[in-house]
Structure 1
Amino acid sequence: MKHLFFLLLSFSTFAQDIHFNSILVDTHNDCLTACIEKNVSLDKDLTGINHSDLARFKKGGVDYQLFSIWCDGEKANPYAWAMREMDSLYAVAARNPDKVVIAKTWKDIQRALKEQKLVAQFGVEGGHMIDSDLQKLETFYNRGVRYMTLTWNNSPGWASSHADEKNPEYKGHKGLTDFGKTVVKKMNQLGMIVDVSHVGETTFWDVINTTTKPIIASHSNAYSICPVSRNLKDEQIIAIGKNGGVIHLNFFSGFVDVDFFKKDAAFRKNHAAEIDSLIKSGMQTEYAFTAISDKYPSESDAIKPDLEQLMKHFDHIVKLIGVDHVGLGSDFDGINSAPKQLKTVLDYPLFSQALIARGYSNKDISKVLGGNFLRVYKANN
């Protein structure tokens, strides 16, 4: 509870200096999908609509955002959907050349940071979006994709997801097929970081035994603190540390506190008719849940965990592998619930405040906010 006391204090000048003088990298934000689903534009004021928009990224201290490219396994043409999402950010960047740069080289990144523009790149969330085609993977890279999550909750045929590996009815291949290993090797060759969030344990260990470059978990937490299959077990965390990779903390309440799921199920049951109506209207299921959570904020806030619960994941990972292997992968705009204090991208400074309260040095805080990811990025390129 002593850490909470510090968070209740005003955000000090000292804390502001550390937060805003560090390079903050968030490896996972779904705002492009959210903007398409809600028919809004990222360069407009989306307060009360999205967790994120272009202006609020800057106000929250975000310097470098990897924008998630996502669709579920039900889309008829996932590759085309991915290209549409990328096109939407290219359009925003074209309208706002003074604010955002889609960076494709290390020089692009350095220049954008020097000019205080948002560094923008893409992270494809789900290998199904390449349609088992290495040429499409290369096209993604050329457009600015700098990591790919090998699976989402579905399996692309060449890698098995956490959801399928725990499903007794799943009859597909577990782990990486020969083609899956070729995908990993191609990503290493291109300079595209391999992301193991969402993958099954068999796939995870196949990746560890195949990759020649450091990997990331772009938005995952610690299984020991919250035992759900989307989180990483201790032996996986240790393996990522040995690989030189980074685990980026996910803000989703269900991956922070396992008790959230029971509370959330009751909340969804109370609003089932409205959720079904949104899904029937064409909204993807994940965003229907988010829309209802936004509509009833007092109900949804009441079931959220506290920021301190997220910090338990941070502490656990640091204890296992050190401060050089943790970062931020919020999952903002792809989740319907986050810790109470982390409502939007404006609240990132509270995470820095929590690190200060724990006694971390300026150097270590800068590593966590972005330096660790930058190390992995350079090691892959």
Structure 2
Amino acid sequence: MLPKVLLSLGLVLWMSNHAVTLTEDLMDRALRLMSETPLIDGHNDLPWQLRKQFNNELNKVDLHTLETTHTNIPKIKHGRLGAQFWSAYVPCDTQKKDAVRQTLEQIDVVHRMCKKYPETFRFARTAEEILAAFRSNRTASLIGVEGGHSLDSSLGTLRVMYDLGVRYLTLTHSCNTPWADNWLVDTGSEPSEHNGLSSFGKQLIVEMNRLGMLIDLAHVTVKVMNQVLDMSAAPVIFSHSSAYSVCPHKRNVPDDVLKRVKEKKGIVMVNFYNDYVTCSKTANLSDVADHFDHIKKVAGADIIGFGGDYDGVTRLPENLEDVSKVPNLVAELLRRGWTDQEVKLALGDNLLRVMKDMERVRDSLNAKVPDDVPIPYEAVQNECRTSHGYNLNNAGAVHPLSTLALLLTLALQTFAKITV
């Protein structure tokens, strides 16, 4: 009979080897699922880093060797990134100044990035184009504009950006626009200017539905969240927000809103920023998985996605330090008992469904003419803005979209929602 010490040592070695095998099995399973369903991330600020570090001089950058960002081509490949919404973000201090120009430059740099690295990126505008890129082993590249200040309160600018490939608009960043309140209002650090959305803000929601542009509710007040959920005929998204009940930060989503997102068949794409994960400066992979578990418990696996916020934040969880580490989170969800089907929903199937639903709403509204009623001039008047295009005796003085007209538009939206 072997001595007890040897038996104990053998048991420890067996348990250690078994744990390693189990971990390897989970990772193999995670990678298999990621080879079958594209990982679609809702928010990455690499374009902002290209401006911040290189003034958008893409000719001076090699994304194969760039090491000063969370994102580069080797990290994308290792992380199995199937599709990415690249953020066309410019700061709030551009509002009422050069926000539109700077945002167009961010849209331009995404297009140029796709053209410079065609073996890695394929520009995408639709759900089907995401799948086509995935089948060709390239990362589908989409654009989201992060902050309504980028529009300069112009529906024409919204339409031009859509034509350039923008597929979501985050209604606010961390500043109020002339037509919507931002999340800081809920902290008490800024006053509400519109009690949520102004009349023009509601016009914008209707026009986004008509265009087929996703409405992103990250960065807005709870009041705006609920107003949009009341109005929109298409599903809404939170491109990079986490669960408020797990970390009570005002950038996160309360449980009652999670339930409404489920009713709307939308998606909440979990943010990895430590401050939104644990409400502290430190976090780990397990803390992020807690948000996935909570959202699934409250509203089901069919509203969850990934919204890492890489290259837009300064602190990231242990084992999720850059885009190459995302498979670790997928393996952790499997370890916690998520089924293959649930993981595939979170990876990309949920976002694909949301985009297809949005495209159906757009198609159902294709007979509706573009809204060309401008925001009232007094709502945007400042020393950097001219009044060209306004007849100040009527169009700018009283907002011409009457309550009756808005109610009629919303009724048509509701009918479209029921029939798709």
TM-score by length of 2: 0.76
1:99 equivalent among 109, 120, 124: 120
What SS does structure 2 have at the residue aligned with 1:240? helix
Partner AA of 1:305 in structure 2: A
Output the CA distance in 1 between the equivalents of 2:296 and 2:21.
21
Matched, 1:36 2:51: yes
Aligned match of 2:98: 77
What SS does structure 2 have at the residue aligned with 1:207? helix
CA deviations over 1:93-121 (Å, ceiling 9, x no partner): 22222321211244433332221221111
Matched, 1:366 2:348: no
Q: Which has the higher contact order (CA 8 A, sep 6+)?
A: 1
Cα contact 1:151–1:161 (8 A) shared by 2: yes
Partner AA of 1:9 in structure 2: T
Pair 1:305–1:139, CA change in 2 (3 A): same
Aligned match of 1:57: 76
Output the CA distance in 2 between the equivalents of 1:106 and 1:26.
14
Cα contact 2:27–2:327 (8 A) shared by 1: no
2:299 equivalent among 321, 334, 340: 321
Matched, 1:184 2:205: yes
2:353 equivalent among 351, 370, 375: 375
Output the CA distance in 2 between the equivalents of 1:49 and 1:119.
23
Cα contact 1:6–1:357 (8 A) shared by 2: no
Cα contact 2:186–2:250 (8 A) shared by 1: no
Aligned match of 1:344: 322
Q: What is the CA-CA distance between 1:22 and the residue it aligns to?
A: 2.1
Q: What is the CA-CA distance between 1:314 and the residue it aligns to?
A: 1.1
For residues 158-237 of structure 1, what are the structure 2 equivalents within 5 Å?
Answer: 158-167=179-188, 170=191, 172-237=193-258
Cα contact 1:127–1:151 (8 A) shared by 2: yes
Partner AA of 1:173 in structure 2: H
Output the CA distance in 2 between the equivalents of 1:26 and 1:169.
30
Cα contact 1:184–1:194 (8 A) shared by 2: yes
Output the CA distance in 2 between the equivalents of 1:190 and 1:136.
12
Aligned match of 1:255: 276
Output the CA distance in 1 between the equivalents of 2:312 and 2:279.
18
Deviates more, 1:97-106 or 1:236-245: 97-106
Pair 1:348–1:169, CA change in 2 (3 A): closer
Aligned match of 2:42: 27
Equivalent pairs counted in the alignment come to 334
What SS does structure 1 have at the residue aligned with 2:233? coil
RMSD: 1.9
Task: For structure 2, list consecutive stretches of 5 or more residues without a partner in the other structure.
Answer: 1-18, 360-420
Output the CA distance in 2 between the equivalents of 1:7 and 1:331.
32
Cα contact 1:50–1:333 (8 A) shared by 2: yes
Identity of aligned residues (%): 30
Aligned match of 2:87: 68
Output the CA distance in 2 between the equivalents of 1:43 and 1:26.
22
Cα contact 1:193–1:214 (8 A) shared by 2: yes
Deviates more, 1:164-173 or 1:133-142: 164-173
Pair 1:12–1:212, CA change in 2 (3 A): closer
Q: What is the CA-CA distance between 1:8 and the residue it aligns to?
A: 9.4
Aligned match of 2:393: none
CA deviations over 1:354-379 (Å, ceiling 9, x no partner): 11101222221111111100000100
2:146 equivalent among 108, 125, 142: 125
CA deviations over 1:63-104 (Å, ceiling 9, x no partner): 110001111210231111111111112112222223212112
